[in-house]
Copies of this chain bind each other. A is one copy, B any other.
């Protein structure tokens, strides 16, 4: 297998996932600033033009971060990051989806409509007129997640580290780089973030 990776929070999420699994894969760096991912030969592998991309041993190209992480979990089930039972997997997927919908999508879209506009305006349909609202939506999503942690859970989905934590951590780190840092008033998420930052996976992928 071969992982096509680049700068950015989605590639980092896959690298975090691999680091927690202690799986090492050959990596190919894709220069997304130069637009390598938006032209052949990369577009032949992934017509959506996104990174990361995992090329399987069959030669099949697999895009989309969560699909890649699910695949790695199936190949290497320990330590479990999605779950060892149908119910545990379902709850990880629910929380991962909430992180995605409430934080990742508006944060990313807000960035692309503002600080990232120069890079993204010819690549995706950007929404500069909604950038402030999108960033506010991401802040509201983070506050909602913080409130869910009022039950004392150490991780987003409960008692165990899952894909939901790795996704949120990667995007909170990204947000901090692009003017969408975590509000210090969100104390539970702040403490969670500090614990996540201390993990070897965070340091190995920084």
Contact = CB atoms under 8 A, between A and B. Distances in A.
A67 interface: yes
B98 A70 contact: no
A78 to B, nearest CB: 15
A64 B97 contact: yes
Contact of A130 (B89, B94, B129): B129
B70 A93 contact: yes
Interface residues of A, number: 38
Contact of A134 (B75, B127, B144): B127
Nearest to A113: B130
Interface stretch (A22-30, A55-63, A115-123, A194-202): A55-63
A125 B97 contact: no
Contacts of A58: 87
Task: State how many copies of this chain the complex holds.
Answer: 2
A133 interface: yes
A63 B89 CA distance: 13
A162 to B, nearest CB: 12
Given A86-B74, A87-B58, A127 B125 contact: no
A182 interface: no
Contact of A90 (B68, B89, B125): B68
Interface in A67-115: 67-68, 70-71, 74-75, 86-87, 89-91, 93-94, 97-98, 102, 105-106
Contacts of A67: 90-91, 93-94, 97
A148 B87 contact: no
A94 B133 contact: no
Contacts of A87: 56, 58, 60, 71
9 contacts: A48-B98, A56-B90, A60-B87, A62-B91, A67-B93, A71-B90, A125-B136, A130-B130, A130-B133
